[in-house]
Structure 1
Amino acid sequence: MTQIHETAYPVLPAELEEAELRTVYTPSAAEIRFVFGQFRQAPTRVLILVQLKLLQRLGYMPVVSDVPPAIIDHMCAVLGARPLPRTTLARYDRSGSKSRHQKILREYVR
């Protein structure tokens, strides 16, 4: 099977192994400090960090409601946040906040 880095448009696998979640999708202490310094609400922090890790991994930020639940659940566990309902993800995708957050993330990764 073609590896994620070998494709022109990398995509997320439907299932992820625990080791990949830990190594690829666990934010660093600096990333957590950045997000905690910028945002107050736990669901927003989770979604921002998910998008940050996806931007680093894929080179773009996919629609949040299309992200495998394992990644979002992992980020919730890392931050000690409650699991996010799928309706929250869909609502976030439609919100104006998402584009503002993505702009902040793009500036952060430069």
Structure 2
Amino acid sequence: MDKTTQERAKMSGIVPNRNQILTLGDLVEFKEDMLREVKRVMRECASGAPGKKWLKSAEVKKLLGISHGFLQSLRDSGVLPFTKIGGSIYYDYEDITFMMSANKSA
């Protein structure tokens, strides 16, 4: 590489500088972060619970396997509480689980 190419590569981050060199500690920390995240995703999948408190309409429809119209009727009838911010509608995951439990038949 000529000097200009080396300078451009260094500026774009391709050529590592002393602040970009990985240490064994960095790799161990990265591994632990990845394992924690994989475990969290696995727990979430096993429990069926999403990893967040507030869900958008598309997420609720997918979670419950319902259509847009049925979700609309749950909102309109007051069965499923929601919060509207701007043009987005959000549902509390706890409200969804409560609705499902309250309507469970024996």
- TM-score for both structures, normalised by structure 2: 0.27
Q: Name the structure where strand makes up a greater proportion of residues.
A: 2
More RCO (CA 8 Å, sep 6+): 1
Q: Name the structure where helix makes up a greater proportion of residues.
A: 1
Larger Rg belongs to: 2
- TM-score for both structures, normalised by structure 1: 0.27
